[in-house]
Amino acid sequence: MAQERRIIESDPWLASPAGQYVLAWEQACLDQVVSDLFGFHAVQLGWPLVQALRCNRMPHRWLLTDQAQAASVPRPLPVLPPPEPGAAVALPLSILADYEALPFPANSLDLVVLPHTLELAEDAHQTLREVERVLVPEGKVVITGFNPTSLWGLRRRTAAGAARADAFHHRTPAMPALHEGSELLGWRRLRDWLRLLNFDVEGGRHGCYRPPLRTQAWLDRWEWAERAGARWWPVFGGMYMMVATKRVRGMRLVGKLKRARATAPAAPAVVANGARSAGHEPAPSPTHSLFEDQGFR
C-alpha cells in the first residue's frame, strides 16, 4: 500500500493573487497548445482546478485524479469563463485511480496532460512510464510544473518554515504546499527522463517572472518583470510547460546490400566474312568436316 500522503488544500492558495496569477498563465498556455492537437481520446491527470482540456476538440476526454488529491477538490468544481464563445466547459471528475497504474490499455490515448502531476505523484518515474504505455505512437504529452531554478523554486525550498509562519499568523501561503517528500523537476532533468522513454521534446515555454508575492498591489508593481524576464532571463521563469511526442522506432537495414553485377561475356570476333572478302576460304571447322564425312551435305 502506498505511503499515506499529507497534502494541504490548494484552494486557499489558488484564491490568492499569486494563485490566480499562476493559474491564469497556465490556463492560457494549455488553451493554446491543446486546441491544435487532434485525435480521439484525451486525459488530464491531476489538478482538477486547471481545466487543461476545455479547448481540446477530441470526442472523448476524461479527468483523472487520485484519492489523496480528490479529497481537496471542492464540490462542485469552479467553472472558469471560456476563452471564446462556444468553447467547452470544465470536465467533470470522471476517473479515480493511481497515477502509477493508469486504467487504460496500452496504445489507447492520443493526448495526456500532466498539470503538476509529477510533483504530486508518489513515483514520478513510474507515472511517466505509464503515460508512455497508454499513449499511441505519435501521441502527445503536455507537462506543466514549477521551475526549481527560479524565485518560485527558491520559495519552495523554504516552504516548510514559511508554512509554519503562515499558520501562526493566519496568512495565505505564497505557494501551494506539496506532499511530504515531493520535489520540483527541472527542465533538463525532465527532458532527460522523456528521452529515455523514447519521447521527442518538441518545445515549450517558461513564464511567471514575477516573484511569489502575496498581495495584488505588489504583483502589479512587478509587472515589468514579465517583459524583462522573457527577454533577458527566459529560462528562469517560475513556471514551465513542455510538449513531447512518443516515438516508436522502426526497424531498418544497416548498410546497403551490394549485388555483384553480372558481367556479360565478350562476343567472339567474326572473322569468317572478313576472310571471304579478302579472297581466302576459311578453314573448315571440325564439326563441319565430321558431317561431310558422314554424308550429310
**Locate cell 508512455: which residue?**
132
Domain with 242, as residue range(s), is 11-246
Number of structural domains found in the chain: 1
How is 247-297 classified by DSSP, letter by letter?
--PPP--SS---PPPPPPPPPPP--HHHHHHTT-PPPPPHHHHHHHHTT--
| pTM confidence score | 0.72
CA 154 to chain centre: 26
**Locate cell 522513454: which residue?**
197
Does residue 263 form part of some domain?
no
CATH (domain of 45): 3.40.50.150
Does residue 238 form part of some domain?
yes
Does residue 259 form part of some domain?
no
Does residue 266 form part of some domain?
no
Does residue 232 form part of some domain?
yes
Each of the 297 residues of the chain gets a pLDDT tens digit; together they read 343 343 334 557 777 888 889 999 999 999 999 998 999 999 999 888 788 998 999 999 999 988 666 555 554 444 445 555 545 555 666 778 888 999 999 999 999 999 999 988 888 999 999 999 999 999 999 999 999 988 888 877 665 545 544 443 344 455 655 544 567 889 999 999 999 999 999 989 999 999 888 889 999 999 999 999 888 988 899 999 999 999 987 756 555 544 544 455 666 666 555 555 555 555 555 544 444 554 544
